[in-house]
Structure 1
């Protein structure tokens, strides 16, 4: 279309009588890629949470032995805590290098963990 074909009366007639803008209704059926990615991520996280279950619990002597090994050899550990939600969902394991300890509390990265709350611990 070039400028000599332009008829402002025709445009006004179309907008006034023929065109009906549905407003937000036209967008309600569309998912943007950001929304789809967010939905998929949330779904994966929920599925992962539902799959997490406690394995067999370790004795306190075993836990202390692995903590000592990890500290002496500067190894990373993965700690599964005994806590779970009301729905029975187990928390995501904490992992990292043991930075130190005070009494019955160890520090893994920037988190503190009570030794009696440890369900299992393993060197990774």
Structure 2
């Protein structure tokens, strides 16, 4: 190994001793604005508290769902189950596109289809 290579190795050793890696901080500038907006939206939803609506009978819920289905109206559903924090989730909103046994198929505004068990619905109402 010649003198120049020894100097280069010594320089590299010194750099490795003094270099402080910033870890994940160096990547924070690479987050896309869409991703940060989505993260903020999820954070906002987690902080939001949804009040319990009046509990309806299965017969009442069935009438609302039947009307929404026959007239092509948008329905809002509050599910009976509580999340990990023991609060209600946001209502499911969309059009009832089909019934099958004790389930409905709800098409959300963005096009996603949710399969919902009628027994798990706490409250149903026609939105518009």
Rounded to whole Å, the distance in 2 between the matches of 1:93 and 1:46 is 17
Cα RMSD between the aligned structures?
3.3
Q: Which of 53, 57, 64 pairs up with 1:56?
A: 53
TM-score by length of 2: 0.62
Query: Matches of 2:104 and 2:83 in 1, distance apart?
Result: 23
Question: Larger C-alpha radius of gyration, 1 or 2?
Answer: 1
Q: 2:50, 2:90 within 8 Å by CA — same for their partners in 1?
A: no
* Ranges in structure 2 where 5+ consecutive residues have no aligned partner: 108-112
- Which ranges of structure 1 fall in alignment gaps of 5 or more residues? 1-8
2:111 paired with 1:115: no
Give 1:78's match in structure 2, choosing from 76, 79, 82.
76
106 and 62 in structure 1: CA distance in 2 versus 1, 3 angstrom threshold: same
Work out whether residues 72 and 95 of structure 2, in 8 Å CA contact, stay in contact via their aligned partners in 1. yes
After superposing on structure 2, the runs of 4+ consecutive aligned residues of structure 1 that deviate more than 6 Å are none
| TM-score, structure 1 as length reference | 0.63
Aligned-partner SS, 2:61: helix
